[in-house]
Structure 1
Amino acid sequence: MNEVIATILNHRSIRHFEEKPLTEEQIKTIVSCAQAAATSSNIQAYSIIGVKDQERKKKLAELAGNQSYVENNGHFFVFCADLYRHTLIGEKNNKNVLPSIESTEKFMVTLIDAALAAQNAVIAAESMGLGICYIGGIRNNLTEVQKLLKTPERVIPLFGMAIGYPAKIPDQKPRLPFEHIYHEEEYQQDKNFYLNQLKEYDELISNYYDKRTGGKRKDRWTEQIAAMLEKQNRMYMRDFVQKNKLDLH
């Protein structure tokens, strides 16, 4: 196993960071690695906003559900779907690009591009001995996040990423079994096979929480996910995206 694979397999979310900012060189390296990710037809349909200002980070933490690690970290990045620059490209070249830019397909491209770039950033950061935590909570109130970050039309903040020096490293949370994720040739639809694997995974996760909390938690994964999905969350998103002139067709 080489160092890159070892770094990837060692991933875990870090929620406690030392009070030590990232250097400009570290920030540039992380962003450059993000930019090196694959991008659909070289469209590069994303942007990254770095947040250093403590008051702005504090406000983002509040908007994200009062998550302290959004405020207290080495540096905070916000990954955005971005087709604003492509609107300008159309104007510059006197081409009608709006039907394409406003399509569901191109919106999906922005999401995929941003996710690929973000995961490159994660691997780069973790290879440097840093820890990371993705922050989906910034989508709790995107209108206020947009105001805070002053994003133009057709730019949507998708998720944040707290990066810094780990002050506390948790145990690694077990993932679903390999066989449950990887399908050979065609999708495995044996319901009993699925349910048996989910039962085994429930036991694994329950034991993980039991050990991690000293017996205070014994949650099962399927119970967690069912409870989470039962609650309707951020249901404004489609209207918000379309208000920003994306995913219209």
Structure 2
Amino acid sequence: MDLYEILMKRRSIRVFQEREIPDEIIEKLLDVAIHGPSGGNLQPFSIILVRSQEGKKKLAELSGGQPWVTKAPLNMIFCLDFFRIKRWADSCEVDFKGEKALNHFLIAYADLMIAAQSVAILAETYGLGSVYIGSIQHEIDETRKYFEIPEYVLPMMLLSIGFPKSIPPSIPKLKKEIMIHKERYQKPSDEAIRRALDEKYGPIDQNLEKYLERIFIEALEAEKLDASSYMERVKKEMKRLDIQNNAQFLFKVRYPTKVMVRMNRRLKESFKNAGFEIF
């Protein structure tokens, strides 16, 4: 299978075999993370490996109770790390104020995600699967405390990795025509946008499992891990809120708009607690 096929067939894996990943493979995953592109080659990130049952259990709790975190043999916490750079700059008698510079932050976050994606891609070639978990950002303070993360370091992304026990079916994506622009941005009409998104997600079926397979596969994957309450919560919320279309499901149930906006305050506070002054 060539790289194009690997990337086109990759799926987020949440149900893992009870099988450890050989250390030599983990070392290679870390090699590609460290050798990826980096703005100015500053490499402003660190990776915390979590393999112990105690650590995985706590990490699952900090990630909103997602059961696959506990089941994965390996979890990598990708941290935006200015601690190391600041200490180095201080020892060389020069200021580095990345914690106050939005540009430094944005480039560092891009570097971090490039490293994570390098790991995710290489993992596929070894028969491994992975899933990104961004909800670790909801508990930055507690994560920093438990994993003894110092000032000027932010845990920003979690990658759970293991050998797949099951692989979910292909999930819908937008067509290129609505996302790719030649030379200049071509603003689509509201009708074109609605048509593209409706085609992507399809109708809300009477068969809820079929619908969630397209739009919220996590609920079905959680059920496979005996976390049936996950699915029940989704069903109850859809009924309570009288969900009639895909946008309502996404921005009332999956990513409630008011909750997402309120989260700004918590994120700002967590950033401040870590020594960041960019917002």
Q: Check the 8 A contact 2:174/2:196 in 1, yes or no.
A: no
The CA deviation at 1:244 is 1.7
Matched, 1:232 2:262: no
- Distance in 1 separating the partners of 2:134 and 2:10: 18
2:186 corresponds to which letter in structure 1? Q
Contact 1:107 / 1:247 at 8 angstroms: preserved in 2? no
TM-score (norm 2): 0.80
Q: Does 1:166 align with 2:193?
A: no
Matched pairs, number: 245
Aligned partners of 1:170, 1:223: CA distance in 2, in Å? 24
Which residue pairs with 1:57 in the alignment?
Answer: 56
Q: Report the AA paired with residue 140 of structure 2.
A: L
CA RMSD of aligned residues (A): 2.3
Match of 1:185?
183
Distance 1:115 1:237 in 2: 19
**1:200 Cα deviation from its structure 2 partner:** 3.7
Unmatched tracts of structure 2, length 5 or more? 216-244
Identity of aligned residues (%): 27
Task: Quote the Cα distance in structure 2 between the aligned partners of 1:8 and 1:217.
Answer: 20
**What secondary structure does 1:196 align onto?**
helix
How far apart in 1 are the matches of 2:277 and 2:22?
Answer: 37
Separation in 2, partners of 1:23, 1:132: 15
| Distance in 1 separating the partners of 2:204 and 2:12 | 15
Q: From 92, 98, 114, give the equivalent of 2:112.
A: 114
Residue identity matched to 1:136: G
The aligned residue for residue 128 of structure 1 is 126
Letter in 1 for 2:104: K
In the alignment, what sits opposite 1:73? Answer: 72
> Which residue type is aligned with residue 80 of structure 1?
C
In structure 1, the residue matched to 2:209 is 213
Query: Residue type matched to 1:163 in 2?
Result: I
CA positional deviation for 1:89: 1.1
Distance in 2 between residues matched to 1:128 and 1:217, nearest whole Å: 26
**Cα deviations by residue, 1:88-136 (Å, 9 ceiling, x for unpaired):** 11111111223x4421111112111101111111100011111100011
Contact 1:57/1:70, CA 8 A, preserved across alignment: yes
Which residue is 2:40 aligned to? 41
* Within-5 A mapping of 1:89-100: 89-98=88-97, 100=98
The 1:203–1:123 alpha-carbon spacing in structure 2 relative to 1, beyond 3 Å, is: same
Equivalent residues in 2 for 1:133-152, closer than 5 Å: 133-152=131-150
Q: Which runs of 5+ in 1 are unaligned?
A: none
Higher mean C-alpha displacement, 226-235 vs 86-95: 226-235
1:198 aligned partner? 194
- Is the CA contact 2:75–2:159 (under 8 Å) kept in the aligned structure 1? yes
Determine helix, strand or coil for the equivalent of 2:249.
helix
8 Å contact kept, 2:175–2:196: no
Shift of the 207–57 alpha-carbon distance from structure 1 to 2, 3 Å rule, reads: same
**Would you say the 8 A contact 1:210–1:217 is kept in 2?**
no
SS at match of 1:232: helix
Shift of 1:201: 3.1
Distance between the aligned counterparts of 2:121 and 2:186, measured in 1? 30
Partner SS, residue 166 of structure 2: coil
Paired with 1:223 and 1:39, the residues of 2 have a C-alpha distance of 38
